[in-house]
Amino acid sequence: MTDPSIITIEDIPGVDVDPHWVKWARERSAVLEAGIPEMFADAAADHPKVVEWVRQIVREAVERQDRPGGLVAATRGPWLLLLGPVSRGKTHQAYGALRALGASGVACSWMHVSAADFYAQLRPRHGVDSEEVFASFANATVLVFDDIGTGKASEWVEEQNYRLINHRYERRMPTILTSNLSTTELRANLGDRVTDRIAQMSNRVVLDGPNRRKP
């Protein structure tokens, strides 16, 4: 079955792009895709709102092309907020969106991190520069941040959330957020400063279908 989320540069009328750039972008994305966990290796974004988000990112990349025939890169665009109970396919849709972007021919690099791993990697450790680690996530071209709002509440966690979200908000850097929490619970856990920025930037998708992990 054809992935319905795939839109390619070739699908957009009037785009002047060197085929070598498109080939390079797809080859680079294939290398990144090799790092997707086996569980999500065949993930396809099939929710209409996720499909539309992919198309928005590709269209904006085309519009921001610096010169005719130049590289088309996904560096700016709206966010995607995937909400719903556990095991409803949020991470599946997120990886599907990344795979669709990679297939589009738009240059796109990405990082994925869960909230728990994000905070763990920022904790002070001998020989590790926490600010350098933070910058790697904050400056990722496309960032997937899983389970936002689930960290144990503390001033430190609140500060890291705000720094990350605000950094990407101010620069309109494409970001995919997932959470098991409702919008009301997110606001209670993240605070107004963070949730207001997420709400302003995000295409919100609520996944409430059957549990994907049940046999």
Q: Is the pLDDT of residue 215 over 60?
A: no
Average pLDDT for 60-67: 92
In a domain, 8, yes or no: no
Read off the amino acid at residue 182. S
Q: Residue 180 CA to chain centroid, in angstroms?
A: 16
Q: Is the pLDDT of residue 148 over 70?
A: yes
Q: What's the pLDDT band for 2 if we cut at 50, 70, 90?
A: very low
Looking up residue 79, the CATH number of its domain turns out to be 3.40.50.300
Beta carbons of 98 and 142 less than 8 angstroms apart: yes
The pTM of this model reads 0.92
Domain that holds residue 140: 16-206
- The tokens of 24 are what? 């390079």
Average pLDDT for 127-156: 93
CA distances from 75 to 2, 53, 60, 174 (A): 26, 14, 9, 7
In a domain, 176, yes or no: yes
Q: How many angstroms separate the CA atoms of 97 and 76, rounded?
A: 15
Contacts of 189 (CB under 8 A, 6+ apart): 149, 150, 153, 181
Q: Is the pLDDT of residue 213 over 70?
A: no
Give 6-22 pLDDT, tens digit per residue. 788 888 888 898 999 99
Q: How many angstroms separate the CA atoms of 80 and 53, rounded?
A: 7
The pLDDT value recorded for residue 129 is 94
Q: How many domains does the chain have?
A: 1
- The tokens of 102 are what? 């990679």
Find where tokens 């850097």 sit.
173
Nearest alpha-carbon partner for 176 in 141, 130, 135: 141
The pLDDT value recorded for residue 176 is 98
The pLDDT value recorded for residue 1 is 38
The pLDDT value recorded for residue 211 is 63
In a domain, 174, yes or no: yes
Beta carbons of 50 and 124 less than 8 angstroms apart: no
In a domain, 97, yes or no: yes
Give 83-111 pLDDT, tens digit per residue. 999 888 999 999 999 999 999 999 999 99
